Amino acid sequence: MSDIIQLLPDHVANQIAAGEVVQRPASVVKELLENAIDADANEVKLIIKDAGKTLVQVIDDGKGMSTTDARLSFERHATSKIKSAEDLFQLNTKGFRGEALASIAAIAHVELKTKEADSELGTAIIIEGSAVKSQEVAVTPKGTSVAVKNLFFNIPARRNFLKSDTVELRHITDEFHRVALAHPNIAFAMYHNGSELFNLPESNYRQRVVNIFGSKTNEKLVPVNEETEVLKVTGFVGKPEYSKKTKSEQFFFVNHRFIKSPYLNHAINAAFDGLLKDGYHPSYFLNLEVDPKTIDINIHPTKTEIKFDDEHTLYAILRASVKHSLGQFNIAPVLDFESHSSLNTPYNYKDKSGKMPTIEVDRSFNPFKDDVEGQHTPQKSQPAFSKAPTAHWESLYVGLESKETIDQSDFDEMTFESHAVDKQIFTSNDVASEKTTFQLRQKYIVTTIKSGMLVIDQNRAHQRILYEDLLKHLTIKEATTQQLLFPLHLHFSKSDIKIINQIKDDLESTGFLFSEIKDESVVITGVPVGVPESEVSIVLEQLISDVEHGVPDQNFSASDLMAKSMAKSLAIKTGQSLNAEEQEHLLNSLFACKEPSVTPSNKSTFITLEVGAIEKKFM
């Protein structure tokens, strides 16, 4: 029998490794930015074309590489970061696995230019699908430039799985934010299709957060600063009133490396307990510094998950630190036993001594002086009012005849101010008050049908109704606008403003009116009928989030996405009480829809309980 196990060729092994390292253009951005930081760069530029599908280029002014290092960097498991297995537990760098450039070169066209500071000439290498096409001496500035073109050119199946440009750009922007926030001492710039998206100068941490998420963010931040033997926590949390429905502003950095940790996220939520509305999430930008020996960062290919030696202690410290900051800056209610300032002695009286109050008595006062002698009765005090005389009360009845002399005919001509009560009124009210629907736990509407009983989810049903209504307005472009008495000013980040500009026409088709759109703010003068002014920011935030994360993708239109997102935001929420008329209207509107049985996201809007099924329960 012949042998069946064989070694894989290098280019195949590299493509398989690329499946772990490179999932989308954002993965390339992450690896290249981390290499630039490890090269001690002071300025890093990220250049993107077509959301990274055509070009991802990172230019840094770091220490560069020699000719040998430049060629060796594209080999598998080649790295300058570690030399032995023990080094994995003392990591202070980003990339250390030695697979990034080899994996990227296996599935793209890569051009590398690099030069060391003390060298006159640099090196230029061109690699296509792991095959080195050329390597030559080149004139290039100090540092390294890596251009990755035509990603997945030799794996069409992987390229077909990429999302729309908007979604892929959002993933790239997220990776850029994570690296830029972790290193405020480095200047970053990002360009997409020739336009500048971010230009972040070297700054402190607070300025870096504000530069990325907009100037309005500055007033939302509450500093957190706590240092213990186990953990040092620095950074900021957002004030509860600025919490969001999305988790877009939640960042944990451990030793300047971005991580995701549901466990530590729960600690933050516990610190905000009682301060947030249901469905809202706090914002936080927190740096955690721990001993590298106490963490393992090699448990996940993307290195975004970390294993801690003592998670329980970190949880307690983190929760206490955030809670302390919220209390210290009067964000959370605290018990204060100190005296109130209004009880302090006024400044003008601080040197004066207290005086005893004096009592003056009129010794000549005689309460009995005006009384007639001999008629005073000290046992009974005189009233302070006089009683009206009742001597001539008989005059009130003069002219009235006796009961026997009243003529019965007088009553025949009597008229009434109001009509007599008709018994029919009560009968009709009783009929009208008979309920055909019933609200269960302020979540479901129950009604009867011929075959049994219908249970409708009020939130999902309203989503379907709003979705079809909004889709009709978007298609016909004849939505009704409700003018605002005072313009509404809303603040967004630069990336959010770019998305609003993209969907502006569709938003105006639903009834929104924009008077101006600036770099970090929009002014709204009109909203769709039925959209409360207080809900406008929530609707737009949810819509931006859905567009960024590509809820529809290529198979759906932008109008469909907007209708889904707005219907989800504006639908009647669970816990909202509806009267009988509102329940009936919701029921009728649902069954007037084209697809009443499912929501826009294909979830059931109602269930039917047949009489037979109910009878079986009693057998």
DSSP, residue by residue, 341-362: GGGSPPGGGTTPPP--------
Band of pLDDT at residue 426, cut at 50, 70 and 90: very low
pLDDT at residue 252 tops 50: yes
pLDDT of residue 190: 93
- Strands, DSSP E only, in 37-90? 43-49, 55-60
Comparison of pLDDT for 318 and 441, the residue scoring more:
318
Q: Which of 240-249, 374-383, 403-412, 457-466 has the lowest mean pLDDT?
A: 374-383
Between 113 and 405, the more confident residue is: 113
**d(C-alpha 237, C-alpha 218), whole Å:** 11
Question: Mapped to the 3 state alphabet, what secondary structure does 410-440 carry?
Answer: HHHCCCCCCCCCCHHHHHHHHHHCCCCEEEE
Cβ partners under 8 Å of residue 389, min gap 6: none
CB 82 within 8 A of CB 110: no
Contact (CB, 8 A) for 515 and 523 = yes
Helix/strand/coil for 192: strand
**Which of the four pLDDT bands, split at 50, 70 and 90, describes residue 430?**
very low
Closest by Cα among 20, 178, 169, 168 to 104: 20
Q: What is the mean pLDDT of residues 268-290?
A: 88
Nearest to 146 by CA among 48, 56, 236, 76: 56
Q: What is the band of 602 on the pLDDT scale with cuts at 50, 70, 90?
A: confident
Residue 34 scores a pLDDT above 70: yes
What DSSP letter does each residue of 101-132 carry, written as one string?
A: HHHHHHSSEEEEEEE-TT-SSEEEEEEETTEE
Planar angle of CA 290, 294, 295, nearest 5 degrees: 85
250-254 and 284-289 as β-strands: parallel, antiparallel, unpaired? Answer: parallel
Give the pLDDT confidence of 337-396 residue by residue, as tens digits.
555 556 666 667 767 777 788 888 888 888 887 655 555 555 554 555 555 566 666 666
CB atoms within 10 A of CB 166: 18
pLDDT one-digit tens code per residue, 105-134: 888 999 999 999 888 899 999 998 888 889
**Is the model's pLDDT at 62 over the cut of 50?**
yes
Q: Which one has a higher pLDDT value, 548 or 361? A: 361
pTM above 0.75, yes or no: no
Give percent of the chain above pLDDT 90: 18
Q: What is the pLDDT of residue 384?
A: 52
Distance CA 304, CA 293 (A): 17
Q: Does the pLDDT of residue 57 top 90, yes or no? A: yes
DSSP 338: S
- Tokens 């509305």 correspond to 277
Burial 9-29 (b: 16+ CB within 10 A, else e): eeeebbbebbeebbbbbbbbb
Q: How far apart are CA 39 and CA 101, in angstroms?
A: 15
More confident residue, 145 or 484: 145
Q: Which residue has the higher pLDDT, 2 or 402?
A: 2
What is the mean predicted confidence (pLDDT) over 456-480?
82
Rounded Cα distance, 457 and 606, in Å: 6
List CB contacts of 605: < 8 A, sequence separation 6 or more. 456, 457, 460, 461, 463, 464, 590, 596, 597, 598, 599
In the 8-state DSSP scheme, what is residue 87?
Answer: G
Report the first-to-last Cα separation within the chain, whole angstroms. Answer: 67
At residue 543, what is the residue type? L
Q: d(Cα 504, Cα 562) in Å, to the nearest integer?
A: 11
Query: 3-class DSSP state for residue 451?
Result: coil
Which pLDDT score is estimated for 14?
Answer: 67
Q: Give phi and psi for 439, each to the nearest 5.
A: -95, 125
| Distance separating alpha carbons of residues 590 and 461, to the nearest angstrom | 6
Whether 238 shows a pLDDT value over 60: the answer reads yes
What kind of fold does domain 444-608 have according to CATH? Ribosomal Protein S8; Chain: A, domain 1 (3.30.1370)
For residue range 574-587, what is the model confidence (pLDDT) as tens digits? 888 888 888 888 88
Tokens at 204, concatenated? 């402190």
Q: Domain 207-328 falls in which CATH fold?
A: Ribosomal Protein S5; domain 2 (3.30.230)
Q: What share of the chain has pLDDT > 70, as a percent?
A: 77
* Helix (H), strand (E) at residue 168: helix 165-182
Confidence at residue 163, expressed as pLDDT on a 0 to 100 scale: 84
pLDDT of residue 431: 42
What pLDDT band is residue 428 in, cutting at 50, 70 and 90?
A: very low
d(CA 238, CA 250): 10
Q: Say if residue 48's pLDDT is above 90.
A: yes
Torsion of CA 116, 121, 123, 124, to 10 degrees: 130
263: tokens are: 């466990």
The Cα–Cα gap between 503 and 557 comes to 12
User: How many Å apart are CA 594 and CA 16, to the nearest integer?
Assistant: 47
For residue 538, what is the enclosing H or E element?
A: helix 536-548
Mean of pLDDT over the chain: 80
The first and second tokens of residue 195, run together, are 């336009």
Please report, for the chain, the start and end positions of each structural domain, with discontinuous segments joined by +. 10-200, 207-328, 444-608
455 touches 485 (CB < 8 A): no
Of residues 420 and 506, more confidently modeled: 506
Per residue in 142-182, pLDDT (tens digit) is 999 999 999 888 888 888 888 888 888 889 999 999 999 99
Domain 10-200 indexed as CATH 3.40.50.2300 = no
Highest mean pLDDT among 4-8, 93-97, 185-189, 215-219 belongs to 185-189
Closest CA to 279 of 560, 582, 571: 571
* φ and ψ at residue 399, rounded to 5 degrees: 95, -15
Residues 399, 33: Cα–Cα separation, whole Å: 110
In our burial notation (b when 16+ CB lie closer than 10 A, e otherwise), range 461-472 reads: bbbbbbbbbbbe
